[in-house]
Amino acid sequence: MKLHDSNYRGFASDNYAGAHPEVLAALAEANGGHQIAYGEDDYTAELQKVMRSHFGEQAQTFPVFNGTGANVTALTSVMPRWGAVVSTSTAHIHTDEGGAPERISGLKLFTVNSPDGKLTPALIETQAWGWGDEHRAQPMAVSIAQTTELGTLYSVAEIRAIADFAHSHHMVLHMDGARISNAAAALGVPLREFTVDAGVDILSFGGTKNGMLYGEAIVVLDPSKSDGLIFLRKLNMQLASKMRFVSAQLLALLTDDLHLRSASHSNAMAARLRSSLESGIAGGSITGLAFSQATQANAVFAVLDNSPADRIRERVRFYDWDRAGGEVRWMTAFDTTEADIDNFVAVITEELAR
């Protein structure tokens, strides 16, 4: 029984998109018969091999249910209970995980403000202090998102600089890669070039935002920096009994570069949205619209008055980012079409003209 209009498109989140047909086909192929539960299946074994082909022979992969579970469990594995994590104030672990790092793992988050959502060694240094002070949680990890929550992108050199700073202060570098494929597509480099080769120690590898039904993976890039994941994954309620169905989806993404094909498309659709709106502004058909962040992957951050934003949202759903400042976020997905973009631009143009 179908309960929704499959032609409807929104721009609120890439999580709104369904599953990629190639992922659904992989699930069907993985179905049938019996496989050993809790990760002793053929698909999870193959996933280990494939991840190592991308991240090196030392990489260890732990499929999990979701991004919050990946982030919290990964960070828990790299520090003791008295450890703290340095992140931006817009980081997903700080703003959108319901306090899970603090409540589930008891981690302290030290946040810093960043106008573009990116950390730098100088920003990290403002919180990287107090070692040996029993009155202060000990800064023991840095967490960055690639791409960031503001849709911006770290260069390989920027990640290496952060890793060098973190390691020189005996801190571990974690990457929230919920949209890691969008980053890889935008940078045009292999996954390992801006992760393990750049000094990242542990990675949350995203799939749900790029065509999977559900599921992510923790990839330990430096096993000497992480401990206890085999126990923590269960403790944090992230151990799938029928793990083959998470692993099969991740394998589908990594087969024939599906993850890059899908991410490249969603990036291109965001670029089309941005350029179409900029053309309208330049041509005078669009007024009352500006942009607040660079469009470097599949997110467009714009600023407009709340009244037209609300009218646009009644026709095409999206989220406010900062309602007081009139900032909104428009996201594209692997299944966004050029017609979707053109229709959305027409709606924005019409409502701003009212």
Measure the N-to-C terminal CA separation of the chain; round to a whole number of Å. 40
Structure confidence at residue 320 as a pLDDT band (50, 70, 90): very high
For residue 323, the model assigns a pLDDT of 97
Q: Which of 108, 105, 168 is nearest to 138 (CA)?
A: 108
Q: Where are the domains of the chain?
A: 20-256, 259-353
Going by their DSSP bridges, the two strands 108-112 and 327-331 should be labelled as unpaired
Question: Which pLDDT tens digit goes with each residue over 254-311?
Answer: 999 999 999 999 999 999 999 999 999 999 999 999 999 999 999 999 999 999 999 9
Whether 250 and 322 have beta carbons less than 8 Å apart is answered as no
Average pLDDT on 196-221 reads 98
CA angle 101, 59, 200 (to 5 degrees): 55
Region of residue 230 (left: phi > 0; alpha: psi -120 to 50; beta: else)? alpha
Q: Which of 139, 109, 144 is nearest to 125 (CA)?
A: 139
For residue 255, the model assigns a pLDDT of 95
CA angle 283, 284, 285 (to 5 degrees): 95
Q: Determine if the pTM surpasses 0.95.
A: yes
> Could you tell me the fold of the domain covering 20-256?
Aspartate Aminotransferase; domain 2 (3.40.640)
Averaged pLDDT score across all residues of the chain: 97
Question: Which pLDDT tens digit goes with each residue over 125-155?
Answer: 999 999 999 999 999 999 999 999 999 999 9
Going by their DSSP bridges, the two strands 60-64 and 290-291 should be labelled as unpaired
Question: Which pLDDT tens digit goes with each residue over 76-118?
Answer: 999 999 999 999 999 999 999 999 999 999 999 999 999 999 9
20-256 and 259-353 agree in CATH topology: no
Whether 183 and 211 have beta carbons less than 8 Å apart is answered as no
Structure tokens at 287: 């007024």
For the structural domain made of 259-353, what CATH number should be given?
Answer: 3.90.1150.10
